[in-house]
Protein backbone atom coordinates (compact mmCIF):
# COMPACT_ATOMS: atom_id res chain seq x y z
CA UNK A 1 0.00 0.00 0.00
CA UNK A 2 1.45 3.41 -0.87
CA UNK A 3 0.75 6.55 1.14
CA UNK A 4 -2.17 8.50 -0.29
CA UNK A 5 -1.57 12.21 -0.96
CA UNK A 6 -4.15 13.53 1.53
CA UNK A 7 -4.26 11.41 4.65
CA UNK A 8 -7.64 10.52 6.13
CA UNK A 9 -8.36 12.05 9.54
CA UNK A 10 -11.34 12.12 11.86
CA UNK A 11 -12.71 15.67 12.00
CA UNK A 12 -12.41 16.22 15.74
CA UNK A 13 -10.12 17.54 18.43
CA UNK A 14 -7.63 14.70 18.92
CA UNK A 15 -6.03 16.26 21.99
CA UNK A 16 -9.37 16.75 23.75
CA UNK A 17 -10.33 13.19 22.85
CA UNK A 18 -7.13 11.76 24.34
CA UNK A 19 -7.45 13.80 27.51
CA UNK A 20 -11.18 13.36 28.16
CA UNK A 21 -12.57 10.29 26.31
CA UNK A 22 -9.98 7.63 25.40
CA UNK A 23 -10.60 4.58 27.62
CA UNK A 24 -13.00 6.66 29.76
CA UNK A 25 -16.14 7.80 27.92
CA UNK A 26 -17.91 7.04 24.64
CA UNK A 27 -17.95 9.78 22.01
CA UNK A 28 -20.13 10.35 18.96
CA UNK A 29 -18.16 12.12 16.22
CA UNK A 30 -20.85 13.32 13.81
CA UNK A 31 -19.50 13.83 10.27
CA UNK A 32 -16.06 12.52 11.30
CA UNK A 33 -15.26 11.46 7.73
CA UNK A 34 -17.23 13.84 5.50
CA UNK A 35 -15.76 12.87 2.12
CA UNK A 36 -15.11 9.22 2.77
CA UNK A 37 -17.07 6.52 0.99
CA UNK A 38 -17.39 2.89 1.98
CA UNK A 39 -14.72 1.14 -0.12
CA UNK A 40 -16.65 -2.14 -0.08
CA UNK A 41 -20.14 -3.03 -1.24
CA UNK A 42 -22.27 -5.60 0.63
CA UNK A 43 -21.73 -7.98 -2.31
CA UNK A 44 -17.93 -7.62 -2.08
CA UNK A 45 -18.04 -8.27 1.66
CA UNK A 46 -20.29 -11.29 1.01
CA UNK A 47 -17.76 -12.54 -1.56
CA UNK A 48 -14.94 -12.24 0.97
CA UNK A 49 -16.95 -14.24 3.52
CA UNK A 50 -16.95 -17.20 1.11
CA UNK A 51 -13.13 -17.40 1.15
CA UNK A 52 -11.60 -20.22 3.21
CA UNK A 53 -8.94 -17.89 4.65
CA UNK A 54 -11.31 -15.09 5.66
CA UNK A 55 -12.45 -14.91 9.29
CA UNK A 56 -16.19 -14.51 8.81
CA UNK A 57 -19.42 -15.24 10.71
CA UNK A 58 -23.11 -14.64 10.37
CA UNK A 59 -25.26 -13.75 13.38
CA UNK A 60 -29.03 -13.90 13.09
CA UNK A 61 -32.06 -13.41 15.27
CA UNK A 62 -35.43 -14.99 14.74
CA UNK A 63 -38.32 -16.03 16.97
CA UNK A 64 -36.15 -19.00 17.97
CA UNK A 65 -33.48 -16.69 19.38
CA UNK A 66 -29.91 -15.83 18.40
CA UNK A 67 -27.82 -18.05 16.12
CA UNK A 68 -24.22 -18.01 14.89
CA UNK A 69 -22.80 -19.55 11.77
CA UNK A 70 -19.00 -19.51 11.42
CA UNK A 71 -17.48 -18.98 7.98
CA UNK A 72 -16.48 -19.78 5.35
CA UNK A 73 -20.07 -19.09 4.32
CA UNK A 74 -21.89 -20.19 1.19
CA UNK A 75 -24.11 -17.98 -1.04
CA UNK A 76 -27.35 -19.51 0.26
CA UNK A 77 -26.44 -18.38 3.80
CA UNK A 78 -27.48 -14.89 2.69
CA UNK A 79 -30.88 -15.99 1.38
CA UNK A 80 -32.84 -15.76 4.60
CA UNK A 81 -35.78 -13.92 6.10
CA UNK A 82 -34.58 -13.39 9.69
CA UNK A 83 -32.65 -10.35 10.98
CA UNK A 84 -29.00 -11.03 10.16
CA UNK A 85 -25.56 -9.50 10.18
CA UNK A 86 -22.46 -10.67 8.34
CA UNK A 87 -19.12 -9.89 10.00
CA UNK A 88 -15.63 -10.30 8.54
CA UNK A 89 -12.55 -9.71 10.70
CA UNK A 90 -9.18 -8.44 9.47
CA UNK A 91 -10.54 -6.93 6.23
CA UNK A 92 -7.62 -4.47 6.26
CA UNK A 93 -5.37 -7.41 5.32
CA UNK A 94 -7.47 -8.12 2.24
CA UNK A 95 -8.44 -4.68 0.93
CA UNK A 96 -5.85 -1.84 0.84
CA UNK A 97 -8.62 0.80 0.64
CA UNK A 98 -10.00 -0.54 3.94
CA UNK A 99 -6.49 -0.52 5.44
CA UNK A 100 -6.31 3.19 4.52
CA UNK A 101 -8.76 3.88 7.35
CA UNK A 102 -5.83 3.26 9.72
CA UNK A 103 -4.58 6.72 8.71
CA UNK A 104 -7.27 8.16 11.00
CA UNK A 105 -5.58 6.51 13.99
CA UNK A 106 -2.15 8.11 13.66
CA UNK A 107 -2.66 10.00 16.92
CA UNK A 108 -2.75 6.69 18.84
CA UNK A 109 0.12 4.21 19.40
CA UNK A 110 0.28 2.08 16.26
CA UNK A 111 1.19 -1.02 18.28
CA UNK A 112 -2.21 -0.87 20.02
CA UNK A 113 -4.09 -1.29 16.72
CA UNK A 114 -5.58 -4.72 16.05
CA UNK A 115 -7.68 -4.94 12.91
CA UNK A 116 -10.65 -3.63 10.94
CA UNK A 117 -13.81 -5.72 11.07
CA UNK A 118 -16.51 -4.95 8.52
CA UNK A 119 -20.16 -5.85 8.97
CA UNK A 120 -23.23 -5.75 6.81
CA UNK A 121 -26.66 -5.88 8.43
CA UNK A 122 -30.15 -6.08 6.95
CA UNK A 123 -32.78 -3.75 8.45
CA UNK A 124 -33.27 -4.75 12.13
CA UNK A 125 -30.04 -6.80 11.98
CA UNK A 126 -27.40 -6.56 14.70
CA UNK A 127 -25.14 -8.70 16.82
CA UNK A 128 -27.09 -8.11 20.03
CA UNK A 129 -26.22 -6.43 23.33
CA UNK A 130 -22.61 -7.11 24.35
CA UNK A 131 -19.39 -5.53 25.51
CA UNK A 132 -15.89 -5.75 24.11
CA UNK A 133 -12.71 -5.82 26.16
CA UNK A 134 -10.96 -3.43 23.81
CA UNK A 135 -11.41 0.10 22.44
CA UNK A 136 -13.29 0.41 19.17
CA UNK A 137 -14.18 3.17 16.70
CA UNK A 138 -17.40 2.23 14.90
CA UNK A 139 -17.32 3.94 11.51
CA UNK A 140 -20.65 4.02 9.70
CA UNK A 141 -19.96 3.01 6.10
CA UNK A 142 -23.39 2.98 4.48
CA UNK A 143 -27.02 3.20 5.64
CA UNK A 144 -28.26 4.08 9.12
CA UNK A 145 -27.72 2.29 12.39
CA UNK A 146 -29.04 3.06 15.86
CA UNK A 147 -26.46 2.48 18.57
CA UNK A 148 -27.58 2.08 22.15
CA UNK A 149 -24.99 2.39 24.88
CA UNK A 150 -25.55 0.68 28.21
CA UNK A 151 -23.69 0.15 31.45
CA UNK A 152 -20.09 -0.69 32.33
CA UNK A 153 -19.65 -4.47 32.33
CA UNK A 154 -17.13 -6.99 33.57
CA UNK A 155 -16.75 -10.77 33.76
CA UNK A 156 -19.53 -10.93 36.38
CA UNK A 157 -22.16 -9.15 34.24
CA UNK A 158 -24.96 -11.70 33.54
CA UNK A 159 -25.10 -13.19 30.00
CA UNK A 160 -27.82 -15.11 28.24
CA UNK A 161 -27.26 -18.87 28.07
CA UNK A 162 -25.91 -19.51 24.59
CA UNK A 163 -23.29 -21.93 23.32
CA UNK A 164 -21.70 -19.57 20.83
CA UNK A 165 -22.63 -16.00 21.68
CA UNK A 166 -21.66 -13.84 24.62
CA UNK A 167 -24.74 -11.61 24.87
CA UNK A 168 -25.88 -9.59 27.87
CA UNK A 169 -28.94 -10.73 29.77
CA UNK A 170 -30.01 -7.19 30.67
CA UNK A 171 -29.48 -3.96 28.81
CA UNK A 172 -30.29 -0.57 30.30
CA UNK A 173 -29.98 2.12 27.60
CA UNK A 174 -28.01 5.10 28.88
CA UNK A 175 -27.44 6.88 25.54
CA UNK A 176 -28.76 6.39 22.03
CA UNK A 177 -27.36 7.65 18.72
CA UNK A 178 -28.30 7.19 15.10
CA UNK A 179 -25.23 6.99 12.86
CA UNK A 180 -25.18 7.83 9.16
CA UNK A 181 -22.40 7.35 6.61
CA UNK A 182 -19.21 9.07 7.80
CA UNK A 183 -20.27 9.26 11.47
CA UNK A 184 -18.08 7.55 14.06
CA UNK A 185 -18.85 6.29 17.54
CA UNK A 186 -15.99 5.58 19.93
CA UNK A 187 -16.81 2.90 22.54
CA UNK A 188 -14.37 2.36 25.42
CA UNK A 189 -13.56 -1.14 26.71
CA UNK A 190 -16.20 -2.68 28.97
CA UNK A 191 -19.10 -0.46 27.88
CA UNK A 192 -22.26 -2.33 26.81
CA UNK A 193 -23.41 -1.46 23.29
CA UNK A 194 -26.06 -2.66 20.90
CA UNK A 195 -26.36 -1.66 17.26
CA UNK A 196 -29.60 -2.14 15.36
CA UNK A 197 -29.75 -1.41 11.64
CA UNK A 198 -32.46 1.11 10.72
CA UNK A 199 -31.75 0.46 7.05
CA UNK A 200 -29.40 -2.10 5.44
CA UNK A 201 -26.02 -0.82 6.55
CA UNK A 202 -22.28 -1.39 6.79
CA UNK A 203 -20.07 -0.69 9.79
CA UNK A 204 -16.27 -0.61 9.91
CA UNK A 205 -14.96 -1.41 13.40
CA UNK A 206 -11.45 -0.11 14.01
CA UNK A 207 -10.37 -2.27 16.93
CA UNK A 208 -7.53 -2.02 19.39
CA UNK A 209 -5.94 -4.62 21.61
CA UNK A 210 -4.08 -4.24 24.86
CA UNK A 211 -1.57 -6.74 26.21
CA UNK A 212 -2.60 -8.63 29.34
CA UNK A 213 -0.56 -7.43 32.31
CA UNK A 214 -0.08 -11.12 33.17
CA UNK A 215 1.63 -11.64 29.77
CA UNK A 216 3.93 -8.66 30.31
CA UNK A 217 4.86 -9.74 33.82
CA UNK A 218 5.46 -13.32 32.70
CA UNK A 219 7.80 -12.14 29.91
CA UNK A 220 9.69 -9.72 32.15
CA UNK A 221 10.06 -12.41 34.81
CA UNK A 222 11.22 -14.99 32.24
CA UNK A 223 13.82 -12.54 30.92
CA UNK A 224 15.02 -11.80 34.45
CA UNK A 225 15.32 -15.50 35.28
CA UNK A 226 17.33 -16.10 32.08
CA UNK A 227 19.94 -13.61 33.28
CA UNK A 228 19.86 -14.36 37.00
CA UNK A 229 22.46 -16.51 38.71
CA UNK A 230 20.37 -19.32 40.30
CA UNK A 231 22.96 -19.50 43.12
CA UNK A 232 22.46 -15.87 44.11
CA UNK A 233 20.97 -15.81 47.63
CA UNK A 234 18.98 -13.20 49.49
CA UNK A 235 21.16 -11.03 51.74
CA UNK A 236 19.67 -9.89 55.06
CA UNK A 237 21.38 -6.50 55.10
CA UNK A 238 19.71 -4.02 57.50
CA UNK A 239 16.52 -6.09 57.77
CA UNK A 240 17.85 -7.97 60.82
CA UNK A 241 18.82 -4.89 62.82
CA UNK A 242 15.70 -5.17 64.98
CA UNK A 243 15.50 -8.71 66.44
CA UNK A 244 12.19 -10.46 65.62
CA UNK A 245 9.89 -12.24 68.06
CA UNK A 246 10.24 -16.05 68.05
CA UNK A 247 9.12 -17.36 64.64
CA UNK A 248 8.30 -13.92 63.25
CA UNK A 249 8.83 -12.68 59.66
CA UNK A 250 8.92 -8.92 60.17
CA UNK A 251 7.84 -6.25 57.72
CA UNK A 252 11.56 -5.35 57.38
CA UNK A 253 12.24 -8.94 56.20
CA UNK A 254 9.46 -8.61 53.64
CA UNK A 255 10.66 -5.20 52.47
CA UNK A 256 14.20 -6.55 52.09
CA UNK A 257 13.01 -9.51 49.99
CA UNK A 258 10.79 -7.27 47.82
CA UNK A 259 13.63 -4.84 47.27
CA UNK A 260 15.98 -7.66 46.23
CA UNK A 261 13.44 -8.87 43.65
CA UNK A 262 12.78 -5.35 42.36
CA UNK A 263 16.52 -4.65 42.09
CA UNK A 264 17.08 -7.87 40.11
CA UNK A 265 14.15 -7.10 37.80
CA UNK A 266 15.48 -3.58 37.18
CA UNK A 267 19.14 -4.60 36.81
CA UNK A 268 18.36 -7.38 34.31
CA UNK A 269 15.69 -5.45 32.39
CA UNK A 270 16.99 -5.22 28.82
CA UNK A 271 13.90 -3.23 27.82
CA UNK A 272 12.71 -5.78 25.27
CA UNK A 273 9.70 -7.50 26.87
CA UNK A 274 7.05 -4.88 26.06
CA UNK A 275 8.01 -4.61 22.38
CA UNK A 276 8.25 -8.36 21.98
CA UNK A 277 4.87 -9.09 23.60
CA UNK A 278 2.93 -6.39 21.73
CA UNK A 279 4.27 -7.41 18.32
CA UNK A 280 3.62 -11.13 18.79
CA UNK A 281 1.00 -13.02 16.79
CA UNK A 282 1.22 -10.75 13.76
CA UNK A 283 0.69 -12.12 10.27
CA UNK A 284 3.93 -13.32 8.69
CA UNK A 285 4.58 -12.85 4.98
CA UNK A 286 6.95 -15.23 3.17
CA UNK A 287 10.37 -13.53 2.66
CA UNK A 288 10.29 -11.27 -0.43
CA UNK A 289 12.11 -12.59 -3.50
CA UNK A 290 15.83 -11.90 -3.84
CA UNK A 291 15.54 -9.38 -6.66
CA UNK A 292 12.76 -7.28 -5.12
CA UNK A 293 13.33 -3.57 -5.82
CA UNK A 294 10.44 -2.10 -3.84
CA UNK A 295 9.52 -3.27 -0.36
CA UNK A 296 6.86 -2.26 2.11
CA UNK A 297 5.38 -3.38 5.41
CA UNK A 298 3.14 -6.42 5.15
CA UNK A 299 -0.40 -5.46 6.27
CA UNK A 300 -1.10 -7.58 9.30
CA UNK A 301 2.57 -7.79 10.34
CA UNK A 302 3.37 -6.14 13.65
CA UNK A 303 6.33 -3.77 13.59
CA UNK A 304 7.40 -1.38 16.32
CA UNK A 305 10.58 0.33 17.43
CA UNK A 306 11.98 2.04 20.46
CA UNK A 307 14.86 4.51 20.77
CA UNK A 308 17.23 3.79 23.65
CA UNK A 309 20.21 6.17 23.82
CA UNK A 310 22.18 5.72 20.58
CA UNK A 311 20.34 2.55 19.58
CA UNK A 312 16.98 1.54 18.24
CA UNK A 313 15.30 -1.72 19.23
CA UNK A 314 13.23 -3.01 16.31
CA UNK A 315 10.41 -5.47 17.04
CA UNK A 316 8.92 -7.44 14.18
CA UNK A 317 6.30 -10.12 14.84
CA UNK A 318 7.70 -10.80 18.32
CA UNK A 319 11.41 -10.79 17.33
CA UNK A 320 13.90 -8.10 18.36
CA UNK A 321 17.01 -6.59 16.72
CA UNK A 322 19.19 -3.70 17.95
CA UNK A 323 20.26 -1.26 15.25
CA UNK A 324 21.93 2.19 15.32
CA UNK A 325 19.66 5.15 16.11
CA UNK A 326 20.18 6.38 12.53
CA UNK A 327 17.75 3.62 11.45
CA UNK A 328 14.84 5.49 13.00
CA UNK A 329 13.89 7.45 9.85
CA UNK A 330 13.74 4.29 7.75
CA UNK A 331 11.65 2.54 10.39
CA UNK A 332 9.24 5.47 10.63
CA UNK A 333 8.83 5.41 6.86
CA UNK A 334 8.15 1.68 6.90
CA UNK A 335 5.58 2.09 9.68
CA UNK A 336 3.93 4.85 7.60
CA UNK A 337 3.40 2.34 4.78
CA UNK A 338 5.98 3.98 2.54
CA UNK A 339 7.82 1.97 -0.09
CA UNK A 340 11.57 1.47 0.39
CA UNK A 341 14.36 -0.07 -1.63
CA UNK A 342 16.42 -2.96 -0.18
CA UNK A 343 19.46 -0.64 -0.29
CA UNK A 344 17.71 1.91 1.94
CA UNK A 345 17.03 -0.79 4.50
CA UNK A 346 20.45 -2.40 4.27
CA UNK A 347 22.31 0.94 4.40
CA UNK A 348 21.38 1.66 8.04
CA UNK A 349 22.40 -1.75 9.35
CA UNK A 350 23.59 -4.88 7.48
CA UNK A 351 21.15 -7.18 9.30
CA UNK A 352 18.01 -5.03 9.18
CA UNK A 353 16.83 -6.20 5.76
CA UNK A 354 17.25 -9.92 6.49
CA UNK A 355 15.77 -9.51 10.00
CA UNK A 356 12.61 -7.85 8.66
CA UNK A 357 12.35 -10.33 5.77
CA UNK A 358 12.78 -13.41 7.96
CA UNK A 359 10.30 -12.18 10.58
CA UNK A 360 7.63 -11.90 7.87
CA UNK A 361 7.29 -8.11 8.05
CA UNK A 362 8.09 -7.25 4.41
CA UNK A 363 6.42 -7.74 1.05
CA UNK A 364 7.80 -6.88 -2.33
CA UNK A 365 5.80 -4.68 -4.68
CA UNK A 366 7.43 -5.98 -7.85
C1 LIG B 1 -21.26 -4.72 14.16
O2 LIG B 1 -20.57 -4.19 13.30
O3 LIG B 1 -22.41 -5.05 13.93
C4 LIG B 1 -20.76 -4.97 15.53
C5 LIG B 1 -19.66 -4.12 15.96
C6 LIG B 1 -19.50 -4.15 17.47
O7 LIG B 1 -20.46 -4.17 18.18
O8 LIG B 1 -18.37 -4.12 17.99
CO1 LIG C 1 -18.92 -4.59 19.99
Cα of 150 to ligand 2 centre, how many Å?
12
**Ligand 1 closest atom vs CA 136:** 8
* Spatial distance between the Cα atoms of 257 and 252, rounded to a whole number of angstroms: 9
Residues lining ligand 1, Cβ inside 6 A: 85, 119, 121, 126-127, 132, 136, 193, 195, 203, 205
Task: For residue range 44-96, list pLDDT tens digits in order.
Answer: 999 999 999 999 999 999 999 999 999 999 999 999 999 999 999 999 999 99
pLDDT given at position 121: 98
Reported confidence tier of residue 316, pLDDT bands at 50, 70, 90: very high
User: Residues within 5 Å of ion ligand 2 by Cβ?
Assistant: 132
**Ligand 1 closest atom vs CA 117:** 2
Among the bound ligands, name the one nearest to the CA of residue 85: 1
Task: For residue range 129-186, list pLDDT tens digits in order.
Answer: 999 999 999 999 999 999 999 999 999 999 999 999 999 999 999 999 999 999 999 9
Q: Which domains does the chain have, with CATH numbers?
A: 14-208 (2.60.120.650), 213-270 (no CATH), 273-364 (3.40.366.30)
Task: Determine contact, residues 40/91, Cβ cutoff 8 Å.
Answer: yes
Cα of 184 to ligand 1 centre, how many Å?
12
Residue 295 reports pLDDT greater than 80: yes
How far the first Cα of the chain sits from its last, in Å, is: 12
Going by CA atoms, what residue is nearest to atom 1 of ligand 1? 119
**Residue percentage of the chain with pLDDT more than 90:** 96
pLDDT given at position 5: 58
Reported confidence tier of residue 7, pLDDT bands at 50, 70, 90: confident
Q: Which of 165, 205, 207 to mutate to test the pocket of ligand 1 (most atoms within 8 A of CB)?
A: 205
Reported confidence tier of residue 6, pLDDT bands at 50, 70, 90: confident
Closest to 33 (Cα-Cα) out of 65, 73, 6: 6
| Number of Cα atoms under 13 Å in the Cβ half of residue 129 | 18
Closest to 54 (Cα-Cα) out of 77, 74, 75, 72: 72
**Ligand 1 closest atom vs CA 193:** 7
Q: Which of 66, 117, 128 to mutate to test the pocket of ligand 1 (most atoms within 8 A of CB)?
A: 117
* Spatial distance between the Cα atoms of 120 and 58, rounded to a whole number of angstroms: 10
Amino acid sequence: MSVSKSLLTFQFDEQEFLECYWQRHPLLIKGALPNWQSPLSPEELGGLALEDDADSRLISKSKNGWALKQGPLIPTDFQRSDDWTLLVNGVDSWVPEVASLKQCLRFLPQWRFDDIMVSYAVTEGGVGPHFDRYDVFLVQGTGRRKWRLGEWCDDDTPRIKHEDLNLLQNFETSQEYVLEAGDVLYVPPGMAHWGIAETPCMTYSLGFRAPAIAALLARWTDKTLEGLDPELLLEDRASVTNPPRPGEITSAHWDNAREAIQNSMAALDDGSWLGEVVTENGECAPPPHEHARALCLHTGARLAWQAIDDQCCVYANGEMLRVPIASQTVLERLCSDETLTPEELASVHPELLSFLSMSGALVSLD
